């Protein structure tokens, strides 16, 4: 039976664990397409261009933005991020489920562009756990961590725009919930009508 693909957005504050959870979900679901975002942020150690992000300089990013190549784009903590249109459209056109992990404003813009988007908010168990995770990760300096925590506080107020909330306290439990959401969404009657 043919069914419409699921567009799964996993959003929530930086440090909530989006990257690890989505990585693991993709391991469980190798057919799931993943939208690699474009960014002007500097590459972190271990990040690979075209795998973790398409790393662009500002000029190149602006050029693509002006050409309408992003479904949405946002400035976050001083850098630009954007969701490439062509990849998402071709995945959906070919019936593939797709996952992406924009911050909350980007998630809202995706929902506007694709109203059938399934919106999952990933929440850290508490603000102090979030602070601890960002510090332990050591990918940002103290100012950048403070900025990300302030953004996280604002983001938490946006929960009403989401369909599901997953608390990432115990990783395996959060993964199970995220996977269950994807599986349940695939079986909805509206996807086969």
| Contacts to ligand 5GP by CB under 6 A | 14, 18, 37, 41, 72, 74, 76, 81-83, 101-103, 105-106
CB of 15 to ligand 5GP, least distance (A): 8
Alpha helices in 17-170 (DSSP H): 18-28, 58-66, 85-93, 104-113, 127-137, 142-155
Question: Which is closer to ligand 5GP, CB of 107 or CB of 175?
Answer: 107
Exposed, middle or buried by CB within 10 Å (0-12, 13-18, 19+), for 162? buried
Question: Which is closer to ligand 5GP, CB of 2 or CB of 108?
Answer: 108
* Pair type for strands 118-123 and 7-11: parallel
CB of 49 to ligand 5GP, least distance (A): 13
CB of 46 to ligand 5GP, least distance (A): 12
Write phi, then psi, for 118 (nearest 5 degrees).
-95, 120
Q: Give the list of residues 6+ apart from residue 47 with CB closer than 8 angstroms, or none.
A: 53, 55
Question: Which is closer to ligand 5GP, CB of 81 or CB of 162?
Answer: 81
Rounded Cα–Cα distance for residues 111 and 89 (Å): 14
CB of 2 to ligand 5GP, least distance (A): 29
Question: Which is closer to ligand 5GP, CB of 150 or CB of 183?
Answer: 150
């Amino acid at each position: 039976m043919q069914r419409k693909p699921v567009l799964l957005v996993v959003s929530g504050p930086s440090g909530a664990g989006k990257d690890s959870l989505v990585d693991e979900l993709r391991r469980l679901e190798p057919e799931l397409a993943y939208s690699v975002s474009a960014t002007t942020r500097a590459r972190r150690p271990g990040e690979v261009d075209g795998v973790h992000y398409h790393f662009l300089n500002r000029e190149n990013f602006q050029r693509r933005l002006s050409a309408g190549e992003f479904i949405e784009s946002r400035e976050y903590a001083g850098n630009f991020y954007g969701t490439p249109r062509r990849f998402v459209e071709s995945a959906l056109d070919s019936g593939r489920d797709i996952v992406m992990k924009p911050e909350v404003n980007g998630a809202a813009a995706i929902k506007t562009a694709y109203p059938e988007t399934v919106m999952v908010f990933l929440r850290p168990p508490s603000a102090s756990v979030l602070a601890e995770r960002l510090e332990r990760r050591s990918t940002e300096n103290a100012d950048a961590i403070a900025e990300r925590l302030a953004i996280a506080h604002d983001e938490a107020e946006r929960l009403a725009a989401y369909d599901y909330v997953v608390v990432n306290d115990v990783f395996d439990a959060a993964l199970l919930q995220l996977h269950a959401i994807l599986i349940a969404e695939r079986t909805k009657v509206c996807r086969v009508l």
